[in-house]
Amino acid sequence: MPNSRRGFLSTCATGAAVAAVPYFHWTQRTLADETKAKNDRVALGLIGSGDIANANIGAAKDWIDIVAIADVDANRAAGFNAKHAGGKAAVFEDYRKVLERKDVDVIHVATPDHWHTKPVVEAMLAGKDVYCEKPLTLTIDEGKLIRKVQKETGRIVQVGTQQRSAFKLFVTAMALVAEGRLGRIKRVQAAIGPASSSPVIPVAAVPAGLNWDRWQGQVPATDFRFLQGPATKDKDGKEKLPRPNTNCHYEFRWWYEYSGGKLTDWGAHHVDIATWALMLNGQTAGPTAIGGTAKHPVAFKDGMPVERDRYNTATEFHFTVDFPGGTQMVIRHDTDNGVLIEGEKGRIFVSRGKLSGEPVEALKDDPLPEGALAKVYKNLPMEHDERKGHWANFLYCAKNQKEPISDVHSHMRMLNICHLAGISARLGRSLKWDDAAEQIVGDDQANAMLSRPVRKGYEIET
């Protein structure tokens, strides 16, 4: 973001109170809501106006104005414009029109996973800073490209793993690790829950306003599928339609073609926290091997689903990831959603609702030193609400050209693990990993899955 006219977030309030948690000392600067003046506001170009864009724009609304929206579904773009921009934003089907605009300061990419890398790379090349939703990429090789272009352009890229800005839970857990309260970490566990399956979903007419070919983008073209289940009654007797089964909006995450399934969808949140803990504990080297078991709703042959008429990503799984020195990470679906961190001196569990364990209890008598949270948060200003705070972090970093809390390097370090779990699941065998070369060792078929064939017309030009 250019440093020009905007005094945005340049001043920070201090010492704001947070809910009473006895051991939690909020002594850091906070971004607060103080910058609402018109000339402080940031002009945002939005690419993808679906579910998460609605939540994100709600979180960032105090600081941004949406000046342009791109969506391949004209109805979604129009509805979003009316709801969040008073109908005043310019609306396009082709996101490149948003990137071209001189009046756009920053870009938000909130498209499905198979449509992240290309607009992120092109936004950086167009000189824009980007907040992109997680998981940043569809493949390991896309991550190599994003890191390369980010280094060459120097643009700021924040990934939407907002758990990194949840201070009372995840950041406090990271501070406990960084302050040595758990000792050397032996094992981390990311429990991310099972994934959806579906009945056979029939081919259906493409809805008016949706450019299905462009929605599919780089992925080989296939039929649009849609199945609306019957309405159910809520407790007040009101009829409600369930979310439809489809290979498009929202449900794309259960198709390996467009996503890595639960392993990257929630993996991008909890494997991120588990990997962050290991790194703060001095485990700077990446993994050496991954193996385990996975159950899919359809048969796979040579890493590809045999049936293409229903959800196909892994519904159940249990993977173990080996790190140098004997540390292990477990990724599983079948226990309480959250991250368990086990060290030689104690263990903690952290989730979106809970932080527990003896080292947490011990904080009552021996609180974390002042500045411990700020240290793991790269000494950047903080906000109380995690989604709002994650946006404030991005906008502050864009203005001040600093590395945000969820940067592309730390994100890809953990997303590589999620992608490797997906490759291992699809092939049904363990993999050895050369982290320095970012290659699977001694398995040509698996190595070929570090990237995917890109449909003609959707290649990324750098």
Ligand X SMILES: NC(=O)c1ccc[n+]([C@@H]2O[C@H](COP(=O)([O-])OP(=O)(O)OC[C@H]3O[C@@H](n4cnc5c(N)ncnc54)[C@H](O)[C@@H]3O)[C@@H](O)[C@H]2O)c1
Q: Which residues bind ligand X (CB under 6 A)?
A: 47-52, 70-73, 76, 95, 110-113, 115, 133-134, 160, 162, 214-215, 217, 249-250, 265
Cα–Cα dist 329/349, whole Å? 14
Amino acid present at 389: G
Cα–Cα dist 379/418, whole Å? 28
Nearer to ligand X (CB atom), residue 35 or residue 246: 246
- Nearest CA to 48 among 225, 193, 258, 228? 258
Q: How far is the CB of 73 from ligand X (least distance, A)?
A: 4
Strands (E), 87-180: 90-92, 106-109, 129-132, 157-159
Q: How far is the CB of 216 from ligand X (least distance, A)?
A: 8
Q: How far is the CB of 111 from ligand X (least distance, A)?
A: 4
What token pair was written down for 28? 């850091």
Q: How far is the CB of 248 from ligand X (least distance, A)?
A: 7
Q: How far is the CB of 110 from ligand X (least distance, A)?
A: 5
H runs (alpha helix) in 231-368: 262-265, 267-280, 358-361
Nearer to ligand X (CB atom), residue 40 or residue 385: 385
The residue assigned the tokens 């870009």 is 107
Q: How far is the CB of 224 from ligand X (least distance, A)?
A: 12
User: How does strand 431-434 pair with strand 289-295?
Assistant: antiparallel
Nearest residue to ligand X on Cβ basis: 50
Nearer to ligand X (CB atom), residue 244 or residue 292: 244
Q: Which residues contact 152 (CB under 8 A, 6 or more apart)?
A: none
Nearer to ligand X (CB atom), residue 52 or residue 362: 52
What token pair was written down for 27? 């002594």
Cα–Cα dist 434/437, whole Å? 6
Q: Which residues contact 114 (CB under 8 A, 6 or more apart)?
A: 138, 217, 218, 219, 252, 257, 258, 259
**Rounded to 5 degrees, what angle do the CA atoms 27, 29, 33 make?**
125
Nearer to ligand X (CB atom), residue 193 or residue 346: 193
Nearer to ligand X (CB atom), residue 112 or residue 359: 112
Q: How far is the CB of 414 from ligand X (least distance, A)?
A: 14
Nearer to ligand X (CB atom), residue 217 or residue 286: 217
